[in-house]
Structure 1
Amino acid sequence: MGTAQEVLIGAVMLLGLVGVSAPGVPGTLLCWAAVLWWATLRHTSLTWAVLAAATGALALGQVVVWLMPSRRIRESGVTWRNIITAGVCGIVGFFLVPVLGAVLGFVGSLYVRERVRQGGGRAAWAATRRAMRTVGGSVLVELMACLLVAGAWLGAVIAGG
């Protein structure tokens, strides 16, 4: 497998990570497909172990999201642009401050965007809580599952798997 293929697999993984917070984009499926593509090209025990772990983590994430109460984003007043921006900041935060940075980046971004939009701290915090209750929880669970898969894949690639 060449470097170009690994870069393409990484691009699909990144598209999946961003797609988690975008409506209509199957982000989880893209992350899993990237790991499947990588495992079928490499054929090592490490790659198959990463694929198995990724399948389990993503399936568990989907079950958790399915069990969470569904709410509509339109009713909350939160825009999809804010959710997508929060997802991107969560991805960046995950790699800057491993694992915990995803939550800090996601929630922090929602708060900052609402503070700019509404002008006050109390109103921004109320809007952030409302956004997290509406869609933030399910997006964050799905994003964390995909980030764990991306981290495992990246670790295996660096380890030479």
Structure 2
Amino acid sequence: MTIDWGTELDLLTGLLVLVGLVGVVVQVLPGALLVAGAVVLWGVLQGSALGWGVVAAAVAITVVAQVAKYLLAGRHLQRGGVPNRTLVWGGVAGVVGFFVIPVVGLPLFFVGAVYLAERLRLGEHAAAWRSTVRALQATGLTILVELAGAMLVVAAWGVGLLAR
């Protein structure tokens, strides 16, 4: 049984998708999951084969993008000699920083912790700064991969909208 949810569902899905895309770039919200969740909800509520096809595509694309972002970032860091524990320190500090200084604290504390961890590990400024830049590049790479995946999910939803 298919139910016509009308334009309201399309508009709500579009709004959630926009918020999710901003979340991917700003890294405050789990943006890719929000985009996928909105599109999955849209597809399920369509109750049709087309809707379920969009759901399958959204889930598959999101899973592939999430796995790819970690693999690519990990490879980038490994090539630069940055250990995983440095990123763990950076991530923990970023979360703390987000609450200490909302929004801007996350990147500031992340960069500061990565630099400090690498400075302690390597003992010199130049090498620590190179590792910090490498970690920032890996972070940017994850954002780009996640954004590309989210945009593909949006494209699948768009195809579903047009085909409906």
Equivalent residue number for residue 48 of structure 2: 44
How far, CA to CA, are the matches of 2:156 and 2:6 in structure 1? 19
Structure (1 or 2) with the larger CA radius of gyration: 2
Equivalent residue number for residue 15 of structure 1: 19
1:24 CA displacement: 2.7
Q: Map of 1:17-32 to 2, 5 A cutoff? A: 17-32=21-36
How far, CA to CA, are the matches of 2:47 and 2:7 in structure 1? 16
TM-score by length of 1: 0.59
Percent identical residues: 36
2:25 alignment partner, SS class:
coil
Cα displacement string for residues 60-105 of structure 1 (whole angstroms, at most 9, x for unaligned residues):
111111222266699xxxxx88xxxxxxxxxxxxxxxxxxxxxxxx
How far, CA to CA, are the matches of 1:39 and 1:7 in structure 2? 14
Q: Map of 1:59-98 to 2, 5 A cutoff? A: 59-67=63-71, 68-69=73-74
Structure 1 vs Structure 2 CA RMSD: 2.4
Equivalent residue number for residue 86 of structure 1: none
1:20 alignment partner, SS class:
helix
1:143 CA displacement: 0.3
Count of equivalent residues: 108
1:9 CA displacement: 0.6
Q: Which runs of 4+ in 1 moved over 4 A?
A: 70-74, 129-132
2:26 alignment partner, SS class:
coil
Equivalent residue number for residue 141 of structure 1: 145
